[in-house]
A and B are shown apart, each in its own frame.
Chain A
């Protein structure tokens, strides 16, 4: 009986493994390949404005008329702080984990004024939470820089989307956005 079921069961488990690789590993691989192509030459933890023709290849909701700025977050060297003074216009900052999950978002209305600062850190693992310092001590280490976000993975992506309300303002907006800071604290 067991002998007859061996190969069907093995095939079922093998099929399940292939299914999981297809849905878990392959999309990540393809995303990383595409991201590397679109951000060729960009350093981690530095803010840059994407080429208009590439924007919709990464951010499906963006058009070539919008401005999209990126910061490839890498927490290997510590917490990253994104600080900006965005001109009075519509904008949204979204922070994604490496696996594409949005972990944080803020827009011009929520920020109140044109300036904002977000401290992005890697979330502690369960083991670190158990063996680490108590929360009160951790809280004392966080400077009051504005907002705080945690990413559950070692890398992430911060995306600033700014629709351009008037084509004549594009150059001025792009220049202003290039001053956005994204660096290790």
Chain B
């Protein structure tokens, strides 16, 4: 009886240790930025940097290089999950940076299509309007891959001026309709 009680304690400890580890890894490495966007980063000065590193490494990824801002988003402006069967309008000021790109793929970041600074046509006031849809659209168009639930990633490389406290203006994503 004592042995089975001890085994139960050990098993319970192992389960709790594992679950808290997995939970800590999934929550680390991402900080909320401007509402619906999450910024993926590892701050070496943060005591939780080990967890943040683990967050990227468990997915086989290197953390974003210093100078590259990496944002991801899973929901539209209304808080609904992004889906490849729907059409969206990404709008906002052109990222003030040496380079930027927007990509859309599955929630793990795979099967992604991308649109970058080289492709963009801006409005006269430097606004970026980008159609995220499977159907061809006039102007800036990112053809969505057929992946079901979408993840949109925004990479801003070397923004200028250097943001203080991550105050980079990020675009909105508004749903236009679904098929």
Contact = CB atoms under 8 A, between A and B. Distances in A.
A34 B60 contact: yes
**Interface footprint category on A:** 35 or more
A11 B9 contact: yes
Contact of A60 (B12, B118, B153): B153
A92 B109 CA distance: 22
Nearest to B11: A11
B121 interface: no
Nearest to A99: B53
Contact of B13 (A14, A24, A35, A94): A14
Contacts of A58: 60-62
B67 interface: yes
Contacts of B112: 56, 63-64
Given A7-B5, A60-B70, A63-B114, A27 B13 contact: no
Given A63-B116, A65-B114, A92-B65, A22 B17 contact: yes
Given A18-B14, A23-B21, A57 B110 contact: yes
A73 interface: no
Interface string B16-30: 111011101100000
Contact of A157 (B53, B62, B153): B62
Nearest to B155: A61
A94 B42 CA distance: 14
Contacts of B98: 90
Interface centre among B22, B65, B70, B103 (most CB of A within 10 A): B65
8 contacts: A14-B13, A27-B54, A57-B109, A61-B65, A63-B112, A92-B65, A96-B62, A159-B62
Interface of A: 7-8, 10-24, 26-28, 30-31, 33-35, 38, 56-61, 63-66, 90, 92, 94, 96, 99-102, 105, 107, 157, 159, 161, 163-167
Q: Top 4 closest A-B pairs, CB basis?
A: A34-B60, A22-B21, A18-B17, A15-B13
